[in-house]
Amino acid sequence: MWWGGRGQSFNIAPQKEEPEMGLSGPKSVQGRAMPEPRSRQLGSCLASGCLPGEQILAWAPGVRKGLEPELPGTLICSNLRVTFQPCGWQRSQETPLSSEYDFSLANIGRLEAVNGLSRVQLLRPGSLLKFVPEEILIHGRDFRLLRIGFEAGGLEPQAFQVTMAIVQARAQSSQGQKYAGLTLSKAGQSAGSRKPPIPLLEISEDWETERRKQRARGWRVSTVNERFDIATSLPRYFWVPNRTLDSEVRRAFGHFHQGRGPRLTWHHPGGSDLLRCGGFYTASDPNKEDIRAVETMLQAGHSDVVLVDTLDELPSLADVQLAHLRLRALCLPDSSVAEDKWLSALEGTRWLDYVRSCLRKASDISVLVTSRVRSVVLQERCDRDFNGLLSSLVQLLSSPEARTLLGFQSLVQREWVAAGHPFLTRLGGTGASEEAPVFLLFLDCVWQLLQQFPAEFEFSEFFLLALHDSVRVPDTLTFLRDSPWERGKQSGQINTYTQVYTAGYSQPPAGNSINPQLSVWDWDLRYSNEQILQFHNPGYDPEHCPDSWLPRQQPSFMVPGPPTSVWLFSRGALTPLNQLCPWRDSPSLLAVSSRWLPRPASSSESLADQEWGLPSHWGACPLPSGLLLPGYLGPQIRLWRRCYLRGRPEVQMGLSAPTIAGLQDELSHLQELLRKWTPRISPEDHSKKRDPNTILSQSH
């Protein structure tokens, strides 16, 4: 989790007696019983901290190393996770997963066993340990590192057993199976009456409420996919133009890749509409009625239409995955990169370059949406990755409401979860080759915006860290399935359906034990009230009210374009098109955009300058209120240190603690370092009373 050990209060009381397992029937992976214990204190602690359906496989006493101070405790392996419990620490019953020492099995990226100075074995799922380890290193996919040393003195078999238990637990359980029965005990007490903190968009009423909230009067909620017979990757409900019949929607969607036809994702208060869709299925042969339906849905009642080539100038999925792997290897505490070459190695990962590309493209699309009343269509072949990323960033840049805590959660639920982003596949839960953390790339982009516009966001960096770490928390189906159909099938919400094959993605595993009402947004199930308070940005300006940024009706805010103008936006420039659909006179034009339109010369002006200044007959418009245009050049894009360098506590100090108490702790720490490093200061100076509250008040 995101909070550090310094923020938790541990009662470290090393036990003199050998701790006891205290649970019936614990077996090692070799089939031998655990040693008979002499104390029952650990047993009660483990039993109280177990989750429903969790079974402890092995445990061993150990010492957490690599951080100061070293903590004695117990390393425990269960069928769900690996956790380290410091001696004397009691896990909270209200937040049983809130521990920085919990590693779900899916979160373990690499496991290493160490014996001596030179004997290191990389343990993959199914490997056989060749020696009794003195230490093991658990590398988390979330950039955490847990280093545990085992004491000698007759406990070597336990060290061997717990290490092999981790190896076999990773090998024997698929991610979908091992979390199928996990339901938090606190939620079970009131599961029947618990209301989701935000609409989960699983019923048509949620979509209708959101449509009215956006004041999208020209749109309606379509129920054509209510039984998932158009596409299993789409939500059961979505928005289509008022005048489009469901029969026309069904025919039109059949001419798009994976059946993901054009639908509304956000209505701008000034009148523009942002749509998303998959690539044209050019092998189809639509009739005139189908082409007319497709054009009607793309135009969405506007005379000015812009088709955005989403993947143009953005990295591929393979590029994102490789950059993330390189970044993780670089940021771990045991990185072999020399300090003087670290920055060049960071540049070589290309991660920050990809963040920069996403922000630049989202900024351009925001200009397209806000500069004129038009239909802007994001088109990606699968419509499940970068369309969601760009659509979310555009709304964050253009809508103050999306920058509130509830608004951002609703945005992620709508554009990622309900829209069918394949979380399980992209985060490596299926073992498929399509792994690529696109959602984590999006969170990094949001963090960059938070740094550049700190007063514009109601949520804090710590909320982003909690969301970053929650993608592999085993408590809900939010991030553990690839589509709404899989979540509905798993939770038992779908009784009758017509299965539609979606190529390239796994079928949902069997099982029906997870509470369908639980979601990742139920933060109180995993976080304390004190931690949830840190989700709020203390620098947020409450004057940025969602209802005050634009009048409800402002026709003069954006100027309509010329009649029936169709554009392709690619490589930062608009190019006119002769037709909207690719089937009339030629093969697919938009599917292979680089072959059918010449690239215009790049302009030195930004798209904002071009849109609000050219052409002259449209007139010039001021920068709309509420629109953010981020910087993306050079040092404006920074490394998210609190996330990626969390395994290096020496670089965490001074990163702006979220509370006054945290700032006081950092101030006291820095004062102590100052006293150690400046021996020439007179004793009188050291004896002066230093009150952090006084110092803070003086600084103000």
Q: Give the DSSP per-residue string, 610-673.
A: HHHH-SGGG---PPPTT------SGGGS---HHHHTTT-GGGTTTS--SSHHHHHHHHHHHHHH
Which of 262-276, 429-443, 558-572 is the least confident region? 558-572
pLDDT for residue 432: 65
Q: Is the pLDDT of residue 560 over 80?
A: no
Q: pLDDT-derived band of residue 505, with 50, 70 and 90 as boundaries?
A: very low
Q: Is the pLDDT of residue 357 over 80?
A: yes
Backbone angles phi, psi at 38, to 5 degrees: -120, -10
Average of pLDDT values for 70-90? Answer: 85
CATH of span 50-172: 2.30.29.30
Rounded CA separation 611/512 (Å): 52
pLDDT for residue 363: 95
Cβ-proximal residues to 486 (8 Å cutoff; 6+ apart), any chain: 232, 507, 508
pLDDT for residue 367: 93
Average of pLDDT values for 353-365? Answer: 97
Structure tokens at 206: 């949620």
Tell me the H-state helices in 23-128: 41-49
pLDDT for residue 475: 65
Q: Average per-residue pLDDT in the chain?
A: 76
Rounded CA separation 72/76 (Å): 13
Burial 422-431, CB ≥16 within 10 A → b, else e: bbbbbbbbbe
Cα dihedral 76, 77, 80, 84 sign? positive
Which of 346-360, 372-386, 566-580, 631-645 is the least confident region? 566-580
Count CB neighbours of 188 within 10 A. Answer: 13
Residues 149, 66 contacting (CB under 8 angstroms): no
Q: Is the pLDDT of residue 509 over 90?
A: no
> What is the SS3 assignment for 423?
helix
Average of pLDDT values for 194-202? Answer: 87
Structure tokens at 286: 């639509």
Closest CA to 23 of 94, 78, 89, 86: 78
Q: pLDDT-derived band of residue 691, with 50, 70 and 90 as boundaries?
A: very low
Rounded CA separation 112/122 (Å): 5
pLDDT for residue 491: 61
Strand intervals (E) in 165-246:
219-222, 238-241
Average of pLDDT values for 498-524? Answer: 54
Q: Is the pLDDT of residue 68 over 80?
A: no
Structure tokens at 302: 């506007």
Helix or strand holding residue 354 (H, E): helix 351-371
> What is the SS3 assignment for 360?
helix
Backbone angles phi, psi at 185, to 5 degrees: -65, -35
Cβ-proximal residues to 83 (8 Å cutoff; 6+ apart), any chain: 49, 75, 76, 99, 101, 102, 103
pLDDT for residue 652: 62
Rounded CA separation 515/192 (Å): 9
pLDDT for residue 189: 45
User: When comparing pLDDT for 648 and 538, which is higher?
Assistant: 538
CA angle 344/349/354 to nearest 5° reads: 115
> What is the SS3 assignment for 528?
coil
Q: Is the pLDDT of residue 342 over 60?
A: yes
Helix or strand holding residue 463 (H, E): helix 461-470
Rounded CA separation 313/147 (Å): 40
pLDDT for residue 606: 61
> What is the SS3 assignment for 484?
helix
Residues 627, 395 contacting (CB under 8 angstroms): no
Residues 355, 445 contacting (CB under 8 angstroms): yes
pLDDT for residue 242: 95
Distance from the Cα of residue 566 to its chain's centroid: 34
Which residues on neighbouring strands pair with residue 121, listed in sequence order? 113
pLDDT for residue 539: 87
Angle between helices 317-331 and 438-452 (to 10 degrees): 70
Residue type, 10: F
Rounded CA separation 358/350 (Å): 13
Residue type, 262: P
List, for residues 213-268, the tens digit of each pLDDT value.
999 999 999 999 999 999 999 999 999 999 999 999 999 999 999 999 999 999 99
Which of 32-41, 281-290, 298-307, 320-329 is the least confident region? 32-41
Rounded CA separation 193/171 (Å): 38
Rounded CA separation 84/13 (Å): 15
List, for residues 28-60, the tens digit of each pLDDT value.
333 333 333 333 444 444 545 666 677 899 999
Rounded CA separation 545/400 (Å): 7
Rounded CA separation 370/270 (Å): 7
User: When comparing pLDDT for 414 and 700, which is higher?
Assistant: 414
Q: Which whole-number Å values give the CA distances from 475 to 185, 289, 324, 377, in the listed order?
A: 10, 47, 25, 35
Burial 583-592, CB ≥16 within 10 A → b, else e: beeeebbbbe
Q: Which whole-number Å values give the CA distances from 695 to 526, 692, 699, in the listed order?
A: 35, 5, 6
Exposed/middle/buried for residue 599 (C-beta within 10 Å: 0-12, 13-18, 19+): exposed
pLDDT for residue 382: 94
Average of pLDDT values for 567-574? Answer: 90
List, for residues 478-490, the tens digit of each pLDDT value.
888 888 898 877 6
Rounded CA separation 567/549 (Å): 29
pLDDT for residue 339: 85
Residue type, 24: S
Percent over 90 (pLDDT), the chain: 43
Q: Match 């700190």 to its residue by tokens.
A: 454
Q: Is the pLDDT of residue 421 over 90?
A: yes
Which pTM value belongs to this model?
Answer: 0.79
pLDDT for residue 11: 32
Which of 96-105, 196-205, 443-452 is the least confident region? 96-105
Residues 238, 207 contacting (CB under 8 angstroms): yes
pLDDT for residue 121: 92
Which of 165-179, 295-309, 363-377 is the least confident region? 165-179
Q: pLDDT-derived band of residue 641, with 50, 70 and 90 as boundaries?
A: very high
Q: Is the pLDDT of residue 620 over 50?
A: no
Q: Is the pLDDT of residue 619 over 70?
A: no
Q: Is the pLDDT of residue 131 over 60?
A: yes
Residues 566, 305 contacting (CB under 8 angstroms): yes
Average of pLDDT values for 287-292? Answer: 88
Q: pLDDT-derived band of residue 306, with 50, 70 and 90 as boundaries?
A: very high
Q: Is the pLDDT of residue 178 over 60?
A: no
Helix or strand holding residue 695 (H, E): helix 692-699
pLDDT for residue 92: 55
CA angle 527/531/535 to nearest 5° reads: 105
Domain residue ranges in the chain = 50-172, 204-493+519-544
Q: Is the pLDDT of residue 630 over 60?
A: yes
> What is the SS3 assignment for 567?
strand
Residues 82, 183 contacting (CB under 8 angstroms): no
DSSP 102-130: EEEGGGEEEEEEEETTTEEEE--TT----
pLDDT for residue 148: 92
Beta strand 304-309 with 375-379 is parallel
Average of pLDDT values for 315-339? Answer: 90
